[in-house]
Amino acid sequence: MVEPETFTFLTDLAINNRKAWMDAHRLERDDALRNFTGIATALHDYAYRFDYLVADARSKPKQSFTRFFQEPRDRVGRALYRVGVDVFANAGHSEEDFGYYLHIEPGSCHAGAALFQPSKEARMRSLNRLLDDPQGLKAILADPEFKKTFPEGLVTRKTLGDVPDGFERGDFVDPYLKMVGLGCRKNLPDALLLDDDVIDELIETFRSASQLVRYFE
């Protein structure tokens, strides 16, 4: 699945997060991109085992993972490049629709379902969904299989200080309204991702996450 050289490249990139270094290591970068493309293809090929909508969608493997370069608004500190890459499997667009993902980052690999970087329109749809059916979300979070697979519950990569104006409810859903993009994740050891048999683990993880994807459709 993930090539050892890909992990090595990402580890080195974290230490040398500069344009000059990236320019000097284009061959390694291109090898990593080919690896991500192959993983995206595999996730789509096996999608019939966890989500028929993804299986029926047109596969675009070269457009199914995040790019290394970060826009200024997404940067943490002075880092130009991401040192972790999300490979997606969904029936729509990664900024518009909930879908499945595998995050590849040395020491911090995980998989699940999410919409972590929603467009403004997609975020509004998610907020309205949470307001319209909070009990549906509560049922998912209480589901034994979901809780076992995703003990952290819902997670995000960015949280606002307050609930957006006009969306306050004063109940359990409020913390999720503060999340700018959200999802679920199962942590995975790096060594597991080196084995092609990890696809079976990913399929089971995605099956457990599918009810969250259905909720936000």
Mean pLDDT over 148-157 rounds to 96
Arithmetic mean of pLDDT over the chain: 92
Q: How many domains does the chain have?
A: 1
Nearest alpha carbon to residue 62 among 46, 41, 48: 41
Question: How many percent of the chain have pLDDT more than 70?
Answer: 95
Q: Which residues pair with 103 in a beta bridge?
A: 86, 110
Per-residue pLDDT, 128: 92
Confidence of residue 103 (pLDDT cuts 50, 70, 90): very high
- Calpha distance 101→88 (Å, rounded): 4
Mean pLDDT over 160-185 rounds to 88
State the DSSP code for 49. G
pLDDT digits (tens, 9 = 90+) for 122-149: 999 999 999 999 999 999 999 999 999 9
pLDDT digits (tens, 9 = 90+) for 54-91: 999 988 899 999 999 866 566 566 778 889 999 999 98
> Tokens standing for 187?
């942590």
Q: Which domain holds residue 18?
A: 4-215
Confirm if 152 and 184 have CB atoms less than 8 A apart: yes
Per-residue pLDDT, 76: 61
Per-residue pLDDT, 165: 83
Using DSSP's 3-state secondary structure scheme, residue 59 falls into: coil
Q: Is the pTM of this model over 0.85?
A: yes
Asked which of 23-32, 87-96, 99-108 is least confident by mean pLDDT, the reply is: 87-96
Confidence of residue 188 (pLDDT cuts 50, 70, 90): very high
Per-residue pLDDT, 73: 60
Q: Residues 102, 108, 114, CA angle at the centre, nearest 5°?
A: 40
Mean pLDDT over 29-47 rounds to 96
> Tokens standing for 163?
């609930």
- Calpha distance 98→126 (Å, rounded): 9
Neighbours of 168 (CB within 10 A): 12
Per-residue pLDDT, 79: 78
